[in-house]
Amino acid sequence: MSLRPRTRPPAKYQNSISSVEQSSSTSRRHRPDYGVFVLTSLLLLIGLVVVYSISPALAASQHISQNYFITKQLIDVGLAVAGFFVAANLAIRRWQGLSNPLLIIALFGSVLVLVTPINELYPAHRWIRLGSFSFQIVELIKLALIVWLANFLARQWALGKLADLKATLRPLLFILLAIGIVVAKLQSDLGSAAVAIAIMGLMAFMVGIPLKKVALISVGIILLLTLAIASTGYRRDRLAAYLHPGKDCQDTSYQACQALISVGSGGIFGLGLGYGVQAYGYQPEAANDSIFAILAEKFGFVGTTMIIVLYGIFIARLKKIIQRSSDQFSRLIVVGVLAWLSTQMIINIGGMIGLLPLKGITLPLISQGGTSMVFLTVALGIVFQISRYTSYNVTQPKISQPSSTGSDYGSSDRRGFRRPYNTPTAARPRT
């Protein structure tokens, strides 16, 4: 550990009056965590290989060019890598400034998506389309949510108002409701809503909101989910299919059942890259949501274990960056990204192996689906940037030391955030 060329935070920092920006600048820039880049690339590469191998199968059943899917995937991966590097080289404080505009764009997009016509290929209001280009708005919502929440929670944390019902919890509940209405109801995308809510919940949890309040929010989430499920017929069916698996492979549980067959028929070593059959029309969404099942069929238990281990390493890596982020905003960004990556992975794989009800969301970084891939890599690019400023030791975000009494820390004005202020000890959450 001590050999690592990481700069220890200077001692003066401990007593300095700090803002997020100041604190991030206090850890000197160092070599980033290339592990983030390597893992991202590896997962993207695995996705490319699988999509390449099933591209002819998909093309055959849809009567389109053999190279259509792999070309699309290559373009998406190219965009994703570009997105990663742009984000990786953008100063972290720039994102703070972008938190409100991003949210506004996301909201605007959510309205736009409602007026985009739907058809057989796009049966729900989830996509904004321009010609052959289609854009899934919920991915932008996830990124905007992370940036905005990181900014908001870091400030409320710095102000010591995390437990404050009016200043912190009410906006959170409002956002929760907004996600429920916009994503779950209007876009009928319960999977993504679950991911967004998990992001929010975990960020709130990790910033240190008292557990009692977390419990309150959880009850709200459960109520929302119950409502969403009870109000939509096909969701009831899917839940029923989940609760009674293997009954039949036809109607509602067809995709889930085919997923189990894909996974189970893979065996230890799989059928081999060129020998999978399920992608030939049996497994719905073979390149997108069901890519894990296809991968399991081709590479067997060895392959799936490798994927699980890769995600495990990724999670550990992000956890380490969280631990070492010396600045609350950055730390919360990484928390949000980890929540995004891990929750989406769990919902996707859990659905494929019959442990969770099936949801139409992608397997992070591997699935085809350009929007999801690009926005997640942008988020990981931010993490990569943050990893340049981690501290040597396992640290926590420094609590600001009061130097003067602030009278207006309830203000949402960003300039107020920079101003020195007091943090009353009593307001600090105890858990």
Quick note: the x/- pattern for another protein over 221-260, rule CB under 8 A, is: ----------------------------x----------x
The CA distance from 19 to 220, in Å, is 32
- Give the binding range for another protein (CB under 8 A) out of 46-54, 98-106, 119-127, 357-365: 119-127
Selected binder of another protein within 47, 208, 357, 369 (CB under 8 A): 208
> Does residue 208 come out as left (phi exceeding 0), alpha (psi in the -120 to 50 range) or beta?
left
Residue closer to another protein by CB (options 396, 405) is: 396
Specify the stretch interacting with another protein by CB under 8 A; choose among 47-55, 103-111, 113-121, 403-411: 113-121
Handedness of CA 127, 129, 135, 140 (dihedral sign): negative
Q: What is the β-pairing status of strands 127-130 and 133-136?
A: antiparallel
Q: Quick check: 205 binds another protein (CB under 8 A)? A: yes
**How far is it, in rounded angstroms, from Cα 3 to Cα 277?**
51
- Segment near another protein (CB under 8 A), from 32-40, 231-239, 347-355, 375-383? 347-355
Beta bridge pairs of residue 136: 127
Using CA atoms, how far apart are residues 420 and 400, in angstroms rounded to an integer? 9
Counting every residue, how long is the chain? 431
What is the Cα–Cα distance from 269 to 305, expressed in whole angstroms?
11
Q: Tell me which residue has tokens 């996600």.
A: 179
Does 399 help bind another protein (rule: CB under 8 A)? yes
66 binding another protein? (CB under 8 A) = no
CB 237 within 8 A of CB 363: no
| C-alpha to C-alpha distance for 268 and 84, rounded to whole angstroms | 35
Residue for token pair 């949000």: 336
DSSP E strand stretches across 59-109: none
Binding mask 14-53 for another protein (x = CB under 8 A): x---------------------------------------
Q: Which is nearer to another protein, 401 or 405 (CB)?
A: 401
- Is position 403 an interface residue for another protein (rule: CB under 8 A)? no
- Smaller CB distance to another protein: residue 149 or 322? 322
- The binding site for another protein (CB under 8 A) comprises 8-9, 11, 13-14, 57, 60-64, 119-121, 157, 202, 205-208, 249, 260-268, 274-275, 277-278, 280-282, 296, 300-301, 304-305, 308, 311-312, 315-316, 319, 322-323, 342, 346, 349-350, 353-355, 393-399, 425, 428-431
